[in-house]
Chains A and B, each alone.
Chain A
Amino acid sequence: MRNVSYINLDDHINAANIPLIPELARRFLELHGLETIDEQDVLSIEADYPQFFESLLNVINSDHFNLTSKVSSIYQAVQLAGFERICLLMICLVIYKTFGQYKIRGLDQQEFWEDSLRRAVSARMIGETIGLDGSRCFTAGLMQDIGFLLLFLLSPNKGALWAEFRKREPEARYSMERNVFNMTHDQASELFCERWGMLDEIARPICNHHSCNTAQLEFFDEQLCKVLHCADWMSAVYTALDKSFVINRCRQILTENFEMEPYRTEELLAAIPDEVDLTALVLGIKVKGHIEFSQILFQANIKLNEDNINFQELTMRLEQALDERDRLAAELNRDLGLAREIQKSLLPPLMDKKFPIVGINISARDLSGDFYDYFSLPDGRIYFNLGDVSGKGVNAALLMAKTSSLFRCLGKRIHDPGELMSQINIELCETSIHGMFVTMIAGLYCPKSGMLRMVNAGNPPALLFSPDGLARELDAQAPPLGVLSEAEFPEFELDLADQSLYMFSDGVTEGYVAENEMLEMSGLFKTIATMEAGLTPLQRIEKIVDRFNDSTVPFRDDVTLLLLEKQ
């Protein structure tokens, strides 16, 4: 038997409150273990409790008990059927009569004994199928959940939970016991068996039927444990809510434990109601009603149908969700397409060949964070810019649109690139969000004089190439726009003459020309310096972009180039 010393009783459970073993049962059990049963001892007990033993004799003489001939005394019955079998029957009746006298609010004892009878007849049927003693299996089955009744008896305030327990399958119920009582029914059974001095051969399986595989048991006890475990599930077929699950579990565990075919399991399940009725009649145990297994199967099918309907509903909802996702994706694509169109409209058109500036912008995503622009002032000077917004996606595109608009709008009245940048910077700092900033090169070019005034705010250097191939880098002299409201934007002025000014975003130097190889500044230098003569400005910046076509690495960043040279 398991050691019970570790059991932690909660405030409501006191082992001392377990009902005492009735005197007649105690005296009868004392005979167990004696080498020979003395007729006088048995007669003496029988004489002291005539009413009880008369009803016991009725059971023994019933067809159900299957004795070879009728008996007129308990001693005769012991002689014919053996002491242990009679003793087990006596224990069943004593337990029923002892516990049956307690009333617990919320707990329907009739239901409890009906369930116990189902476990008992199930255990007997399985036991007989696999060659165990049916009487012993029956008694153990009847008593296997006595600890459950005991838990309620010792914590009567929890009686209202009885119905909730009954709806559950055995494992779920077991786990609920732990939560509700801080003790499980097999642990409570241990207390009971100890207090009543129960026969070890009954006590061991009762106390271990939820741990058949882990408890150290002899073969026979282990077999009986497994029988009780299966009987528990078979009984639950008639009470648990999820009948299809419990039926399937019965098929599974009976096959696992006893290699029983599923059809045989169903035969045993179908036999339970009649067996219960018969046994209840013989033992004088009242049961509530008779439910056929066919009704249970019908309910299980309803449950299966409900599950199926739920599944269909789930599928339908999933399909609806996918449709909704597709609809939103299409909507988003439409919006993105429109945004892309608007963004493209912010880029200037390609001008005629006499215009000194050409530009190109390739977006790594749907929307670009890079931009460029140029426009002529009434006096013939040309404003231009190239910018790159930090980050990517819609937020970068929106800031790009804002900065580009500010440049075009303010540029028409502020003809001073440094001042223009300063004003845009203040505006961006005032509405700064998430630390987003804009690197930008902006300049004012006079085609008549060839003079150029330019500001580089945090952008990669512009490259000034002379016709003899010499190049000069025009580094940033100011931080990006939108970082520091008081930042200054110094201009530098130069005579462009017949030089070419290449401006670009960092997507160009960080673009991949081969796997693991970026173009970098040196590559850009070389590309420009080695271009064949006679190419138009547009062809030259396209040549630079062509460098990325050999790479299988997709664009990670937007690529933007602007070329200014005298025409």
Chain B
Amino acid sequence: MKYPVHEHGKFSVISLTGEVDLNCSPQAREQILKCLKKNNHLLIDLSAVEYIDSSGVASLVEGFQTARGQQLQFALLGVSKAALQVLQLARLDKVFPIYASIDDVDL
């Protein structure tokens, strides 16, 4: 699966969709790291995510850690209820910057 990427201001926005599990998270990881390699600030749109497992969360964590190492912004956008539950349960909602919509992001 190839996730769509578009540019918005200084950010690249990757939209993850459906089930981000052990099968799909390698592609998500690849696209996240590809954008960061280009030194792009990154927003991950999770509004269409129906399920995310720990491998999917690990892709986000790796993106987050890599972005921090490069002094780039990394945030989650419009996190779906299913994804938010997982993040909240693991207290990762306190780790990732989360925005309800693109309008809330300081572009």
Asked if A476 contacts B90 (CB within 8 A), the reply is: yes
Residues of A372-402 contacting chain B, CB below 8 A:
388-392
B91 shortest CB reach to chain A, Å: 4
A458 to B90, CA, bound (A): 4
Bound complex: CA of A479 vs CA of B64, how far in Å?
Answer: 14
A299 within 8 A of B: no
Interface: B39 (CB within 8 A)? no
Note all chain B residues with C-beta closer than 8 A to A436: 58, 61
- Picked from A389, A390, A461, A483, the residue with its CB within 8 Å of the CB of B95 is A483
Contacts of A482 in B (CB 8 A): 61
Interface centre among B22, B60, B91, B94 (most CB of A within 10 A): B91
CB proximity to A under 8 Å, residues B44-73: 54-55, 57-65
Contacts of B59 in A (CB 8 A): 435
Q: In the complex, A436 Cα to B63 Cα: how many Å?
A: 11
Cross-chain contact A437 with B91 (CB below 8 angstroms): no
Question: Does A484 lie at the interface of the complex (its beta carbon under 8 Å from any beta carbon of B)?
Answer: yes
Instruction: Establish whether residues A479 and B58, one from each chain, have CB atoms under 8 Å apart when the complex forms.
Output: no
Q: How far is the CB of B22 from chain A (nearest CB, A)?
A: 6
Using A435-B29, A483-B61 as known contacts, say yes or no to A390 and B89 having CB atoms under 8 A apart. Answer: no
From B21, which residue of chain A is reached at the shortest CB distance?
A556
Cα A390 to Cα B57 with chains together (Å):
8
Contacts of A392 in B (CB 8 A): 22, 55
- Chain B: interface secondary structure? helix
Of A437, A457, A461, A478, which is within 8 A of B58 by CB? A437
8 Å CB interface, A483-507 against B: 483-484, 487, 506
A279 at the interface (CB under 8 A from B): no
Give 7 nearest A-B pairs by CB, closest first. Answer: A435-B62, A390-B54, A458-B90, A435-B61, A435-B58, A390-B58, A476-B91
- A439-B90 contact given A391-B22, A391-B55, A434-B58, CB 8 Å threshold: yes
Q: What are 30 A-B pairs with beta-carbon distances under 8 A? A: A389-B54, A390-B54, A390-B55, A391-B22, A391-B55, A392-B55, A432-B65, A434-B62, A435-B57, A435-B60, A435-B62, A436-B58, A437-B58, A439-B90, A458-B89, A458-B92, A476-B89, A477-B91, A478-B91, A479-B91, A479-B94, A480-B92, A482-B61, A483-B64, A483-B65, A483-B92, A483-B95, A484-B95, A487-B95, A506-B89
Interface centre among B22, B57, B61, B94 (most CB of A within 10 A): B61
Additional A-B contact list (13), CB under 8 Å, known A436-B58, A483-B95: A391-B22, A391-B54, A391-B55, A392-B55, A434-B29, A435-B58, A435-B62, A458-B89, A458-B90, A461-B89, A479-B94, A480-B91, A483-B64
Q: Are B54 and A460 in contact, CB atoms less than 8 angstroms apart? A: no
Q: Which of the four size classes fits the interface of chain A?
A: 20 to 34
Instruction: Tell me the bound Cα distance from A429 to B64 in angstroms.
Output: 12
Q: Report Cα–Cα, A111/B63, bound state, in Å.
A: 70
In the complex the two chains form, is A480's CB within 8 Å of B90's CB? yes
- Inter-chain contacts of B22 with A (CB < 8 A): 391-392
Q: Which chain A residues lie closer than 8 Å to B90 at the CB level? A: 439, 458-459, 476, 479-480
List residues of B whose CB falls within 8 A of some A CB.
22, 29, 54-55, 57-65, 89-92, 94-95
A residues within 8 A CB of B91?
457-458, 476-480
- Chain A residues with CB under 8 A of B58: 390-391, 434-437
Instruction: Kindly list chain A residues whose C-beta atoms are within 8 Å of the C-beta of B54.
Output: 388-391, 437, 439, 506
CA distance A120 to B18 in the complex (A): 68
Nearest Cβ on chain A to B55's Cβ, whole angstroms? 5
A482-B60 Cα distance, complex, nearest whole Å: 13
Neighbouring B residues of A478 by C-beta, 8 Å: 91
Q: Are B95 and A479 in contact (CB under 8 A)?
A: yes
Q: Which residues of A contact B62 (CB under 8 A)?
A: 432, 434-435
Instruction: Across the interface, name the chain A residue whose C-beta is closest to B56.
Output: A390
Interface string of A385-429 (1 = CB under 8 A from B): 000111110000000000000000000000000000000000001
Q: How far apart are the CA atoms of A400 and B89 in the complex, in Å?
A: 20
Expressed in whole angstroms, the Cα–Cα distance for A434 and B59 within the complex equals: 7
Query: What are the residues of chain A within 8 A of B61 when measuring CB–CB?
Result: 390, 435-437, 482-483
**What residue in chain A is nearest B95 (Cβ atoms)?**
A479
Complexed CA–CA distance, A550 and B98 (Å): 40
Q: Min CB distance, B12 to chain A, in Å?
A: 18
Min Cβ gap A474→B in Å is: 13
The residue in B29, B54, B62, B92 that gathers the most chain A C-beta atoms within 10 A of its C-beta is B54
A479 to B61, CA, bound (A): 11
**Residue of A with least CB distance to B62:** A435
**A389's closest neighbor in chain B, by CB?**
B54
Asked if A479 contacts B92 (CB within 8 A), the reply is: yes
**A411 CA to B91 CA in the complex, in Å?**
24
